[in-house]
Amino acid sequence: MPLPSILSTLWPRLRRPLEAALALGLCILVYLASSVITQPNSRIMNPDLPRFTELPAFNPYRKTFTCQHEAQANPVPSEAAQTLFEAAKTLDEYDRDPAEIDYKQVVSLYRQAMALGHWKAQFNLAGLYLEGQGVPFDPNEALRLTEDLMRQGVPAAWFNMGNFYMSGVGPLTPDATVAYAFWQRAADMGSLHAQAMLGKALDSKINEPPRLWANRPIGRQMLECAFAQGSGEAAYQLGLTYRVEADGIFDRVEREALYAKAVQRYHEGVKFGGMECARALSSLFGLGEAAVGNTKDPVREDRYFAISEYLRHHPDTRLPNLDRVLPLPPAKLPTWDGEAESLIKAAQAVRVTPKQPPQPAANAPGRAHIPEGHSLVMPADRSQWAQTPIVGFKDILSAPGVRTGLSMAAFDGYYQPLHIWATHPQSRPAGGIPPGEYESLRMRAMADVPPLHYRAGEPLDLRTADAWNMNHYFAQEGDHRLVYWFYKGTARAVQPLTDHLARAGLVQAIAQATDTRCADGQSCPTSGIWQPEVTNTEHPLAQVFNGTLAGDSWRRQAFVSSGQNLPQFAAQLAPVLADGEAAQLQVKWRLMVACEAVCEAGFEKIA
């Protein structure tokens, strides 16, 4: 049969499948085209979104790197915000079955901490939106929360945006080039995760892009920077590379120095919660490798292995006092009952139980008195009276929260005198004092007046602030009506902060620390647990490290025996400090717990 006749016979049967195939192909082409152009179109329509920040391309062969400390860039949380954040973290434990976790409560606590400015709470909340845990699955909300943190200058948020680009989260098209650019920016801003990841990729002798680049000097600097910030991941990589480097060195002194450095990095990494570091040391002591002096030490092998197993299930654990139960040779080891929990508890940090915040106004006289254990709180239904900044005199007249010429208190509570309409014709100087000087004296006197308590309907009259002798300045009947007032709220009982980490058994609670302090690196007069403090409070790291809950000092504690030197904390932080900041840093170590008797056994509970 001729070919045309065959086609004419088969065409009715082939037409519909061919049309369907063509339609499917067209849909695929349209989808691919839309996926390619969506991101550029979004960039054009939303150029100000942080996700579309124009960044320099990733340069694996860069010649310089300046170490930055991410905690100096992050907003410093308040103690109250940290309490809420830690409460959420203890509910959302790593090794718990997700079905057993009350994610709605976790989300509620994160939101409360986030409302108080806790950036980590917002960061973790973004992660829950990506998982759909406790909130609807919403990649766009995760991106929005992350971008808000990027605007605040949080390095971890820039690092996470790189992760989002690598995975193609939500509307983002997967793009490794863009991801590496964001990771590079995050590392330069101080992100220890970005520094550890890129440092590992650059700390290589071979080139295998896109996995490895031979830029060991910069890679090593990034790893050491992350290590100085407390990265267990960086500690493991440094320990590994120093060991490999030592294996190839012929000079014995130089080789042993590198081995010692490798072991020390591993050991510090265990304190940072590095499971791989603990496992590496268990293997080294079990096999008796060159890095530990070619001598097997099964006791240390077992202890490091027990800790590694615990950290595998509890990666957020920190063990700053590891030397109390597992010091490096040649120090002797205390006895052990064989339980991993005993090792962990003895190596944990200690924290002072938060106390009721002091209330200086508890002893104030008259209307300024605030009951002991109370603080001023703005009622939710009186939000229109919230304090607002005053830019200039003419702004006072329209500023919400300010009441002028108010002769009666609108609500029960405390009122703060703010300003006086000095140019009003009723305002007259007394005793022959020039008008300008009189108003200046009156303003200074009013500035010393604290919030005063008035009942609803009671006259707001500064002449009743007798303890501050205001009658002289407001002698005329109408003067008190010229004062602008802020409503500061009512006095409510303040609940003491709860140490949720102590309640969950992640740190040990102590009633108070001792008053004994020693200089950085000085010989230790007493065996016990010591904690560093930045003593020059104007230093950028003072807010980062000092503080009972929100500070990081408790993570840098050290167990030191009598006669040994305290750690050199300033030297540990040197990589993350500029020359001027390093020279200005002043550190003292405070004895948290003296344990001469307790430390002999190593595992007795700290009282």
Bigger pLDDT: 445 or 568?
568
For a pLDDT cut of 90, what percent of the chain falls above it? 57
**Helix 275-287 and helix 232-247: axis angle, to 10°?**
30
Two structure tokens written together for 48: 């100000």
Direct distance between the N- and C-terminal alpha carbons of the chain, in angstroms, rounded to an integer? 102
Cα 495 to Cα 118, 166, 276, 355, 539, distances in angstroms: 20, 45, 41, 10, 31
How far apart are the C-alpha atoms of 104 and 120, rounded to whole Å?
Answer: 17
Query: Is pLDDT of 572 > 60?
Result: yes
Q: What is the pLDDT of residue 509?
A: 93
Spans of all domains in the chain: 33-59+163-229, 75-152, 360-493, 508-601
The mean pLDDT of the chain is: 84
Q: Which of 490, 415, 483, 476 is nearest to 446 (CA)?
A: 483
How far apart are the C-alpha atoms of 419 and 416, rounded to whole Å?
Answer: 10
Q: Which of 325-339, 497-511, 588-602 has the lowest mean pLDDT?
A: 588-602
Query: Is pLDDT of 20 > 70?
Result: no
Q: What is the pLDDT of residue 518?
A: 96
Q: What is the pLDDT of residue 85?
A: 96
Mean pLDDT of 513-534: 94
Per-residue pLDDT tens over the stretch 390-446: 333 344 444 444 444 556 787 888 888 876 665 444 455 555 666 566 667 777 777
Q: What is the pLDDT of residue 602?
A: 46
Bigger pLDDT: 591 or 601?
591
Per-residue pLDDT tens over the stretch 156-185: 999 999 999 999 999 999 999 999 999 999
Per-residue pLDDT tens over the stretch 239-274: 999 999 999 899 999 999 999 999 999 999 999 999
Mean pLDDT of 539-545: 88
Query: Is pLDDT of 535 > 50?
Result: yes
Mean pLDDT of 216-235: 96
Phi/psi of residue 391, nearest 5 degrees: -85, -40
Does this model's pTM top 0.85? My answer is no
Two structure tokens written together for 94: 């790593």
